[in-house]
């Protein structure tokens, strides 16, 4: 991902092992998204000579365009919490200001290395507006400055704080769900498993968009993933892995390789997969484990879009549908 903003600005190319070229399978709206995204990266002028910081700046610059399509809510508040692993910024999205609201704790994607509250602002606003739930976005520390298990510890600390003190923020601590996209989906499932291991707090649902949960090799990883299309070429995914985890022991730790866990007793779960995503099979395996252990779940696979497509709801109707599907799931909890 360090080079992705340059790749996207320069046009299509592939690197690493041969992959299936999925451009011809993408929806017209997704092709439009690619061009608009390329234009944003082409206009980006990095302010830092550090490849890592330049990659973050490029990501933020491109995401700022998609978040410029405003979604109004009655109240949006910036908060913070000392997690024991440093202070984490939070943003609370409230679709109503009276009474206690059920709450979705949302962790953003970005390979643990990219992203913040602003890059995922529109997604959180739409989820709150369409579901009637409050959304509490978590700005966990980024890798490689902080490595596993800092991020899952921070997310779990926020979950425990809301369980104990959520009413002070207008949140119903008896109805807490977790959710996120990509790396954030991984952290969300991990928080639920941490809560189960600790015996509390109770999580009433999971909203998991195109996460990676522990597969190291799969059909989808071999078939898909282009640096200039979804930022998930082989070199990109290796960079994410090495930045987030320091050792092979960390990579195989049950709090990181979540597919080692027994899924029995998990709450109702919405699993969103993307057909041409290298992480697709992680979602399919998770759904199969849920089925095997009797976990109420819904698996939806979205076709003709790319990993990360939730960001593009201003142009891609299927992104709006996927967010709406997630909001409808929250209403059932």
pLDDT at 3: 42
Q: What is the dihedral of CA 71, 115, 195, 168, to 10 degrees?
A: -50
**Which two structure tokens, joined as six digits, stand for 208?**
């998991």
DSSP H helices, the chain, are 4-10, 28-42, 51-66, 121-131, 150-165, 183-198, 219-223, 227-230, 234-244, 248-251, 280-292, 317-332
pLDDT at 227: 87
pLDDT at 7: 53
Backbone angles phi, psi at 102, to 5 degrees: -60, 155
Maximum Cα–Cα distance for the chain, whole Å? Answer: 55
| pTM of the shown model | 0.95
Instruction: Give yes or no for a contact between 34 and 62, defined as CB atoms under 8 angstroms apart.
Output: no
pLDDT below 70 — which residues of the chain?
Answer: 1-17
Whether the upstream peptide bond of residue 149 has omega within 30° of 0, thus cis, is yes
Q: How do residues 189-239 score in pLDDT, each as one tens digit?
A: 999 999 999 999 999 999 999 999 999 999 999 999 998 889 899 999 999
pLDDT at 102: 98
Whether the upstream peptide bond of residue 201 has omega within 30° of 0, thus cis, is yes
How far apart CA 136 and CA 138 sit, in angstroms, is 7
Tell me what the pLDDT averaged over the chain comes to.
95
Which residue is catalytic, options 139, 181, 277, 282? 277
Q: Please report, for residues 127, 138, 174, the alpha-carbon distance to residue 100 in angstroms, rounded to integers and kept in the order given.
A: 17, 20, 10
Backbone angles phi, psi at 271, to 5 degrees: -115, 115
Active-site residue flag, 181: no
Backbone angles phi, psi at 95, to 5 degrees: -80, -10
Q: Please report, for residues 10, 21, 67, 69, 277, the alpha-carbon distance to residue 6 in angstroms, rounded to integers and kept in the order given.
A: 6, 20, 21, 25, 21
CATH of the domain at 187: 3.40.50.1820
Q: What is the dihedral of CA 230, 234, 240, 245, to 10 degrees?
A: 150
Instruction: Give yes or no for a contact between 8 and 44, defined as CB atoms under 8 angstroms apart.
Output: no
Active-site residue flag, 297: no
Instruction: Give yes or no for a contact between 256 and 148, defined as CB atoms under 8 angstroms apart.
Output: yes
Q: How do residues 67-104 score in pLDDT, each as one tens digit?
A: 999 999 999 999 999 999 999 999 999 999 999 999 99
Which residue is catalytic, options 37, 107, 131, 182? 182
Backbone angles phi, psi at 104, to 5 degrees: -105, 120
pLDDT at 6: 54
Number of domains in the chain: 1
Which residue is catalytic, options 108, 186, 297, 307? 307
Residue 270's domain comprises 4-332
String of b and e for 256-276 (b: at least 16 CB within 10 Å)?
bbbeebebeebbbbbbbbbeb
């Amino acid at each position: 991902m360090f080079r992705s903003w340059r790749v996207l600005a320069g046009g299509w190319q592939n690197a690493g092992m041969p992959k299936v070229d999925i451009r011809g399978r993408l929806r017209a709206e997704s092709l439009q998204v690619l061009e608009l995204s390329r234009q944003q990266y082409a206009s980006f002028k990095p302010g830092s000579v550090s490849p890592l910081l330049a990659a973050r700046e490029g990501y933020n610059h491109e995401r700022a365009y998609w978040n410029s399509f405003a979604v109004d809510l009655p109240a949006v508040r910036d908060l913070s919490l000392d997690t024991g692993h440093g202070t984490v910024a939070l943003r609370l999205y409230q679709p109503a200001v009276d009474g206690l609201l059920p709450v979705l704790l949302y962790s953003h994607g970005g390979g643990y290395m990219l992203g913040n509250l602003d890059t995922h602002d529109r997604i959180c606003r739409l989820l709150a507006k369409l579901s009637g739930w409050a959304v509490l976005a978590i700005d966990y520390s980024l890798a490689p400055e902080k490595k596993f298990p800092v991020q899952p510890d921070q997310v779990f600390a926020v979950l425990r704080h809301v369980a104990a003190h959520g009413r002070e923020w207008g949140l119903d601590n008896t109805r807490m769900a977790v959710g996120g996209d990509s790396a954030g989906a991984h952290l969300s499932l991990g928080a639920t498993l941490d809560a189960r291991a600790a015996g509390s707090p109770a999580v009433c649902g999971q909203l998991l968009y195109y996460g990676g949960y522990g597969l190291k090799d799969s059909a989808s990883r071999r078939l898909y993933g282009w640096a200039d299309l979804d930022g998930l070429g082989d070199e990109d995914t290796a960079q994410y892995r090495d930045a987030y985890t320091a050792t092979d022991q960390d990579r195989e730790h049950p709090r990181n390789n979540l597919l080692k866990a027994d899924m029995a007793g998990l709450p109702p779960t919405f699993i969103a997969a993307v057909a041409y995503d290298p992480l697709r099979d992680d979602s399919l395996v998770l759904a199969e484990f849920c089925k095997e252990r009797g976990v109420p779940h819904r698996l939806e696979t979205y076709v003709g879009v790319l990993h990360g497509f939730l960001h593009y709801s201003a142009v891609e109707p299927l992104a709006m549908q996927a967010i709406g599907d997630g909001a409808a799931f929250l209403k059932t909890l």
